[in-house]
Amino acid sequence: MSKSARSARSVRPAKTATPGKPSGKSSSRTGESATTESGGKYVYCIVRSREPLTFGPIGLGADPAEVYTVIWDDLAAVVSDAPGGILDPTRDNVLSHQRVNETVMRDHTVLPMSFGTIFKTGEDVTAFMKSAAAAFSDVLKKMENKLEFGLKVVWDRDAVIGEIEEENDDIRRLKSQLATQKGSTYFARMQYGRLVDAALQATSDRYVAEIFNHLRSVSVASRTNKPIGDRMILNAAFLVSRSDEEGFDQRVKSLGARYEKLTFKYTGPWPPYNFVNIRLKLERA
């Protein structure tokens, strides 16, 4: 089991806040390149603050840009001056985007923006926050003092199949039949494969249900993403209150000790990427 504070991640949003249509030029295209102009403002996240904040030279660019806030009322957009030209979602750029969000979230509840969210001027950023103030305030309230943790669970598939073959009478009988039968075994192999697949799915479902049940009392919400490959049985994100962070950590460790055939890959804390999605609807200038 591993716990990491940094990783490039691809997530699916679950909650949408849709602002209105301020004037100004913006790009918000996750996973795509964005074209920037010199002097543009790159937005990393939204926080609640009435006072200007600075976070140092940790932003995008070959020479990391200074990160600061643009304020409207009690909302603050965390921004830096955007580097000119094409902004590709390279590993370095995505990690820079995440680094800023992770730095800001140490002391603030953050609403992370999609990679490539760029406005032409600071005034456009202010207009955007003004138009979406109600939505931002609502989601900030719901996400207050909450963190995201990622949990991926993989298993030794061959070992699980071996266990299934020992415990399931029908599968054990078919395996023995295939080992001794002469001639065509096509139908027996097809039946064996169907039974094994069904048993694997049932076993996976049982493990996943037990994991979620074990973590339910120390998490606020959870989201499941599609598993990657045939060894992964769970790819999930959990929203956890800061006050429950230690309890959640201990529960994951206890699960890792309980299930010998499962490997738990545990990452975080993160901003709530899986639980917040600010979907921009902006008119181009």
Beta bridge partners of 222: 238
Three-state DSSP class for 275? Answer: coil
Please tell me the distance from the alpha carbon of residue 241 to that of residue 221, in angstroms, as a whole number. 10
* pLDDT recorded at residue 252: 95
Please tell me the distance from the alpha carbon of residue 229 to that of residue 24, in angstroms, as a whole number. 43
Query: Once rounded to an integer, what is the mean pLDDT over residues 8-16?
Result: 31
Give CA torsion, residues 205, 207, 213, 218, to 10 deg. Answer: -130
Six-digit token string for 242: 């800061």
Question: What is the pTM for the complete model shown?
Answer: 0.78
Please tell me the distance from the alpha carbon of residue 99 to that of residue 197, in angstroms, as a whole number. 41
Please tell me the distance from the alpha carbon of residue 193 to that of residue 39, in angstroms, as a whole number. 61
pLDDT in tens, 17-27: 333 333 334 44
What structural domains and CATH numbers belong to the chain?
21-131 (no CATH), 148-270 (3.30.70)
Query: Once rounded to an integer, what is the mean pLDDT over residues 132-138?
Result: 93
* pLDDT recorded at residue 38: 55
Please tell me the distance from the alpha carbon of residue 13 to that of residue 10, in angstroms, as a whole number. 10
| 75-81 and 41-48 beta bridge pairing | antiparallel
